[in-house]
Structures are given as C-alpha cells and as structure tokens.
Amino acid sequence: MTTMTDAFTLPCGATLPNRIAKAAMTEGLADPWLRATERHARAYRQWSHGGAGLLISGNVMIDRLRLERPGNVAIDGNGGVDGLRNWARAGTEAGNHLWMQISHPGRQTPRYVTLDPMGPSAVQLDMLANYAKPREMTGDEIEDFIRRFAHVAVTARDAGFTGVQVHAAHGYLLSSFLSPVTNRRGDEWGGALENRARFLLEVLRATRAAVGDDFPVAVKLNSDDFRKGGFTHDDCLQVVQWLNDERVDLLEISGGTYEQPKLLGVDGRDDSAVERKSTRAREAYFLDYAESIRTVAKMPLMVTGGFRSAEGINAALAEGHCDVVGLARPLCTHPDAPKQMFGGRMTTLPSFEHDLSLGDAQWLGKNSHLYVIKIVHTIGQLGWYCLQIARLGDGTKRHHYGLWRATFSYLMDEYVTAFKRWRASRRPAA
C-alpha cells in the first residue's frame, strides 16, 4: 500500500524521494529587474529541509512586460542566472527535487503591471476594473511564446533546477486558450478543442525537445474552469488523452480561474450550476475529478487543493487516486510540515482559512454587488499567505495579521514593488 514516504520514479527516470510536493506559490520576491534574490534562496532552503520530496517554484514569467505580480521572476533577456543558480542550490540542499513553474499570465495581469495585456482574444477580465482589456495575440507572437517556454525550461535546467512545470491552469495564458469564453479565435489556435489545445501541446513538444528525454516535464491543468461555457471536465478528459502522447512526467490537477477561485476551495459568481456536489464532501476538493482523469491518463497524477490531514493524504495515495499530493497554504506558515507528518508529530496540517473566511456565506456569490466583498476577501486571503512567504524569504517569524490588515499590507507591498519595477525599467540593471 502506497504511503506518503514512499519514493516515486517518474517516466523520465528521475526519482522523487517521497510523495509530498510543495505546490507552486507565487513568491513576489524578485528584485526590480525581475531576477531571483537571496530571499528566494532563504525561503526554498527552509522548504528543502522541510521534507517535501518535490518543490515547485511560484510561476516564473516568460515575458518581462506582462507579469502576474510585479515581484515575479522573469527570464526574458534580463540576466539573473547567478540568482537562479543560488535559488536552485538552496532549494535542493536536502536532496529533494526543485522544479520551475513556467508561466504567462495572459489577461490576468493587473493594471499596475501593464496596461497592455495579451490573450487569445480581446476578452477583458471583469474584476474591480483592475485588469486592462487584452489584445488578441498574433500567430507570430504565439510561435514566439512557444520558443520562450522552451528557452526558460533550458535556462532552469542549466541553472540547477531539476525539472519544470508548464502552467496551463487557473486562467493564465495557456489555460485561457483552452477556454471558449476567452478564446474566440477563428484561426488554427481557436474554435474546436483540438485547436484551443494546440498552444499547450506545442509548448510541451518544444520544451521536451529542448530539455531532453531524462528531464522531468510536468503540466498543471484545470480539471474544470467551473464557468458556464468554459473549459469543462469533458474537455479536460480529452486534453489529458492528447497529453498521453507528449511524455508528461507528472500531471497536476487543479481547477478554477481568478473569477472562479476554486483552486483555493472558494466559490465564485453564479457557479451553482457547474459545481459537483460530491467534491464538497471531501477534504481535497479535486479528488473526484482526479478519479475520472485517472481512467484516461497514462502519466502519473498529482492532486493539489485542500489536503489537511496525514490520513487524507495517505488515503488518496493508497486508494490510487493520485501518485503525488500537492500542499500549498499549510507550508507558508509551517515549511517543515511534511517532515513533521513523516515523523508522526503532525497529523492535522495547519489551516488558517477558517480564521480568514467570511464563513459559509453562499449568499455573497449570488448577489452581484456583494460579490465585490468576496473578491476583496479572496485577495486578502492570498495576500495573507503571500506575506507569510515574504517572511520566509526574510527569515523572520510569521505574522499574525487579520484579514483586513493583510489585505492592506499586501496591496501596499504590491504597489510599492510595481513602482520600484517601473523606476528600474528606466535605468540599466544594477
């Protein structure tokens, strides 16, 4: 019977020392030139010694002009290889794997980062006017981005990262190409699912060709966008069958977008019609989806979202629903939680979501005016965790902020970082 301490060998031949992965979490710790810093190294050293067999970085950007946050690391002609090496060295100190998550935010890049987002089509994200209208990418830009994903993967490998994960979930660029809501193109990159999936498949082919056969290449994919007319679970099952031919080493199952933040277990607007009742009954909210994906997937599966007990993790592994379990929020405050679980000292993972939540306020999701409260609340929760990651990077103790203080501090940090980045973009790198 598989348990969380068992090693796992991937199709490419690399072996993970155990079944626990730190899932990707945006760090926001880059310098104003978007290069990795000592703060990355400090945070990842703690996670490395914390016991997880696999650490996946926060999303690293392929385009320095369009970021998910102003503090993202980007690999786009801005140097910074020494910082990446330092990060990779620190993040693998305990013999674990460290993979770089490679991403482009598409239309989900805030106005304080850019007023010129790009997407498959000019469909704007409607959230507190914080996101400018994207322009439709040209075919040449798509081809260029395919090359950039591969280039960033090679840069990661050469700097000492032991694998890469292509981010095709959560409404970011590759995910937005998959969805008919955001992809309204009439060319070979839009329309039928086969066309909408082309960008992702081409990125994977280019990445695999660039890094070689023995280097782990993973994908993070939505099980469902939970959006009427969007990328559905049936679409996901079809895409997974195509991915079967692409030598994917690990497929991570997640779900949702900024508008439907199901990745955090939070309900979005008007989603009652698309929610599966059974998912709510389980600690890990994408396990039901993983079960059906398992029936078509030939590659190993990782499931992330909601795991909060050693018992729940071991059950998911023992019942064969997945091969690796991803943990995110619990590791912001307790980077050594995996080690503590392995030693039997921790059976329930720390969870602050309830303290930060508005309770089971389903009515908020059904009223379009009150929905604003929900958005602010989700930003505040994310901000609370982002501030904890910054503390790991600074090597200081964790904070005990409430939701409103976290929201305010996080947003102030974001604006200051955006300003520093803007100022830096006007002078040569230090």
Q: Which residues bind ligand FMN (CB under 6 A)?
A: 23-26, 58-59, 101, 167, 169-170, 220, 254, 263-264, 304-307, 327-329, 382, 385-386
* Residue whose CB is less far from ligand FMN, 138 or 348: 348
Query: Exposure pattern of 199-212 as b/e (b: 16+ CB <10 Å)?
Result: bbbbbbebbbebbe
Cβ 257 to ligand FMN shortest distance, Å: 12
Cβ 103 to ligand FMN shortest distance, Å: 7
* Residue whose CB is less far from ligand FMN, 58 or 110: 58
Cβ 329 to ligand FMN shortest distance, Å: 3
* Residue whose CB is less far from ligand FMN, 174 or 418: 174
Cβ 422 to ligand FMN shortest distance, Å: 22
CB 28 within 8 A of CB 69: yes
Task: Kindly report the backbone phi and psi dihedral angles of residue 88, in degrees, each rounded to the nearest multiple of 5, phi listed first.
Answer: -65, -40
> What is the spatial distance between Cα 13 and Cα 10, in angstroms, rounded to a whole number?
5
* Residue whose CB is less far from ligand FMN, 185 or 199: 199
Look-up of token digits 């997945």: 322
Cβ 139 to ligand FMN shortest distance, Å: 27
> What is the spatial distance between Cα 182 and Cα 136, in angstroms, rounded to a whole number?
10
* Residue whose CB is less far from ligand FMN, 122 or 376: 376
> What is the spatial distance between Cα 11 and Cα 149, in angstroms, rounded to a whole number?
21
Cβ 378 to ligand FMN shortest distance, Å: 10
* Residue whose CB is less far from ligand FMN, 28 or 190: 28
Query: Exposure pattern of 326-365 as b/e (b: 16+ CB <10 Å)?
Result: bbbbbbbbbbbbbbbbbeeebeebeebbeebeeeeeeebb
In sequence order, what DSSP letters do the residues of 216-237 get, joined into one string? -EEEEEES---STTS--HHHHH
Look-up of token digits 């007319």: 229
- Please give the single-letter amino acid code of residue 174: L
Cβ 261 to ligand FMN shortest distance, Å: 9
* Residue whose CB is less far from ligand FMN, 59 or 96: 59
CB 87 within 8 A of CB 42: no
Query: How far is residue 325 from each of residues 52, 231, 253, 333, measured CA to CA in Å?
Result: 10, 24, 10, 18
